[in-house]
Chains A and B, each alone.
Chain A
Amino acid sequence: MQDSGFRKNRLGLMGWLSGGRYGVERYAYTLHRLTGLAILVYFLLHVFVSSSRALGEGTWNTVMGYLDSPVFKVGEFLIYLAFAYHALNGIRLVATELGFFLGTPRQPVFPYSNSVKRQRPVLVVVMVVAAVIVILGGVDFLRAFPGE
C-alpha cells in the first residue's frame, strides 16, 4: 500500500538553493522566504524605533539622528525592495492557493501543460508591477538621501 503519511523535508534549507524540476517558482519561493525574514527583522526593530515617539521629541530626534546615515538609507531601500517583491509575490500565492490562474484539470496531451505553467504569466506580471513600484520608490529614496 502506498504510504500517504507525513513526509519529512529531506533537503531542509538546502532545498532553497536548487530549483531542480520545480523551475523558477522554487526560486520565487526561496526569495519570498528570504525577503520575509528580512522584513521581519526590520519590522521588529521598527516597532522599537517608532515607539520612541512616545518618549518625546528629544528621544525621537536622537533616534532619527542615528538612523540618518547612508548605510541605513540603503538598508531601508533594500527593505522597501523586499516588501515590493514579497507583497506582489504574496498576492500571486494567495490567488493560486484559492485556485485562481491554475486552469481546470485536463488530459495529458502533448505539448504538455500543467497548472504551474498556466500561472507563470501571472508571475511575470507581478514581477513587472513590483519592478515599477521599486523604481518609483527608488527615485523617492534618492531624493531623500542624506546630503541631497
Chain B
Amino acid sequence: MKSWLFVFLLLFSLQAQAVEPSSMVYKQSLLLASEGKIDQSIIALQAASAVLPQGDIWRERMIAASLLLRMQKQQLTRLVPIKHNDYLKLVDAYRQAHAKPQATQTWPVVLLASIFPGAGHAWLGRWHDAGVAALFVWPLLLLTLWAARRKMGPVTVFFALLTVWLWSGTIFSAISLAERGSFEVYMQWWQQLWQASALPGRPW
C-alpha cells in the first residue's frame, strides 16, 4: 500500500514540476501587465509560448493572453483570429455579441473649451467641472479687458498672460477628461472581454 502511495506521489510531483514553470511564467507576465509593463508582459508570454510544444494548454493561454494584451495596448476592438485556440474563440464570440466601446470625439471639446471657458466640460456632461473651469478664467479675463480699456500697458500684459495660461489649462483639462473617459470606457469593455475568454488570472 505504501509503495503505491509513493509511486502516486512521485508521479504527481513530476507532473507538478512540468506544469509549474509555465504557470509561473504566465502568472509573472500577468503581474507585469498589472503593473503597467504591458510590453514586457507580451514579450515574456510570446517567448514562453514559442518554446512550449503544440497542444500544450499553457501555450494556448499564453498566445491568447499576449494577443489580448496587445489589443489593449493599441486600444483595438478587433482581434486577429487564430484557429484552434478556444480562448480566442470565446473572445470573438463575446466581441460579436456585444457593442464596441465608443470613443469620445475630442475636437468638439477643444472647440467649445476654446470659444467659451467651461463649455468643453459642459459638453462632456461635467457641469460642476464646467463651473470651476469658468471660475478659473472669467475673473482674470474680465480684469484683462478692464486693464486694456484703461490702457494700463504692462499690467494688461501681465493679466493677459495669466489668463492665457489659465484658459489653456482649462482646454487641456477638457481634452484630458475626454481622453480619460474614452480610455476608461474601453478598459471596461476590454476587461469584460478578458473575463469572457476564460483565461486564468487578471492583468489588472
Bound together = no
A residues with CB within 8 A of B: none
B residues with CB within 8 A of A: none
